[in-house]
Structure formats: structure tokens, C-alpha cells
């Protein structure tokens, strides 16, 4: 696709999202394509690319909106990828959280824990944190004070520092 599309429905071919910006107040929103087409039609507008911006309201409902539209090609694909990454990280953290809970009574160096650590490797970006968890998970003999809680909390803190969204609040558990 070269240049602006002729119609909003042309953007279905490139699985696009649309960034709606009010140039008056600088408010910005990213819309799914079907939602913006529905909004334009509900407001009595035309889905022609140039005419659609007149049928949209400012995201902050300012008094004198001047709307501009920007297509984001393959935006839905990026959103799906982000959702998949989020699900992977949170599933791996769930496995590590459960292992940390059992780690004071038994060795938790299982294939599931190893896989969860492997999944987190590109997100944590610090191999030593993952190594510390694995060492704590496989240490023999087990003692009540030897658990994986501290390495787990350091991994969660590192992910939070990097801006990864973590479901729930896994840091609220006692060490």
C-alpha cells in the first residue's frame, strides 16, 4: 500500500489499526479498524479516508477538534504478539511461583521449572538471576531456610523494572 488508502475498509488487507489524533489538543488514541468504521457510520459519516476524520470526535472531547488519521499497518499482529508475550511470561512466573512455594520442603529442579526459566531468558536479560533460581531449586540437602523465594522475587523485580506487565501481585507473598 502506497500513500493513503481510499477507504477505511482498504486497511483490512494489511490488518491495520488507526491512530486518531486531535491536532487541537494533541490527544491520541489507537482504534481497531472495525471500531472506527462503526463509529464513523454511527456518527453519519462516510468511510472514505478523507471524509472519515470529519465524523470522528476528539478522544478528549475538546471544543474544536481537528482530527487526523494515521494507519498503523499490521497493528493487530503487533497486539497479538504482545498478548502472546504477556501470556508466556505470566505462565512461566506462575510455574516459578508454585515451585518457590514448594522449594523449602523438596527439590524443585524439574523440567517444568527449567523450561520456565528458559522462556524468561530473553525477557529478564540477566542470566545470573535465572542461574541463581536454578541453583536454589536443585541444592541438596534441602533445609527449611533454603528456598527459591529470594531468586524468584529478584526475577519478578527485574521484569517489573523492565516494564513487563505481571498479572496479580506476586511480590506480595511472604518470603
79-108 as b/e, with b when 16 or more CB fall inside 10 Å?
eeeeeeeeeebbebbebbbebbeebeeeeb
pTM for the model stands at 0.58
Q: How far apart are CA 57 and CA 95, in angstroms?
A: 45
Burial of 134 (0-12, 13-18, 19+ CB in 10 A): middle
pLDDT digits (tens, 9 = 90+) for 86-140: 899 999 999 999 999 898 888 898 999 999 999 999 999 899 999 999 999 998 8
pLDDT digits (tens, 9 = 90+) for 22-61: 988 989 988 888 889 999 999 888 899 889 989 898 888 8
By 3-state DSSP, what share of the chain in percent is helix, strand and coil, each rounded to 5?
55, 10, 35
Which residues are CB-contacts of 117 (< 8 A; sequence separation ≥ 6)? 92, 96, 130, 133, 134
On whether the CB atoms of residues 24 and 62 are closer than 8 A, the answer is yes
The per-residue pLDDT of the chain, averaged, comes to 86
- Residue spans per domain, the chain: 8-73, 78-172
Task: Locate 13 and state its grid cell.
Answer: 488487507
Question: How many contiguous H segments (helices) and E segments (strands) does the chain have?
Answer: 6, 3
On whether the CB atoms of residues 16 and 72 are closer than 8 A, the answer is yes
Amino acid at each position: 500500500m502506497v500513500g493513503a488508502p481510499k477507504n477505511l475498509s482498504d486497511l483490512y488487507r494489511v490488518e491495520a489499526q488507526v491512530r486518531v489524533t486531535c491536532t487541537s489538543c494533541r490527544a491520541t488514541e489507537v482504534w481497531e479498524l472495525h471500531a472506527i468504521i462503526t463509529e464513523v457510520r454511527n456518527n453519519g459519516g462516510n468511510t472514505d479516508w478523507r471524509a472519515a476524520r470529519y465524523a470522528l470526535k476528539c478522544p478528549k472531547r475538546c471544543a474544536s477538534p481537528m482530527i487526523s488519521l494515521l494507519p498503523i499497518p499490521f497493528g493487530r499482529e503487533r497486539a497479538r504478539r504482545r498478548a502472546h508475550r504477556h501470556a508466556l511470561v505470566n505462565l512461566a512466573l506462575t510455574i516459578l511461583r508454585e515451585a518457590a512455594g514448594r522449594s523449602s520442603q523438596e527439590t524443585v529442579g524439574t523440567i517444568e521449572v527449567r523450561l520456565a526459566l528458559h522462556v524468561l531468558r530473553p525477557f529478564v536479560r540477566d542470566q545470573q538471576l535465572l542461574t541463581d533460581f536454578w541453583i536454589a531449586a536443585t541444592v541438596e540437602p534441602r533445609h527449611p531456610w533454603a528456598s527459591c523465594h529470594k531468586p524468584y522475587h529478584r526475577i519478578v523485580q527485574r521484569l517489573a523494572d523492565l516494564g513487563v506487565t505481571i498479572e496479580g501481585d506476586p511480590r506480595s507473598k511472604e518470603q
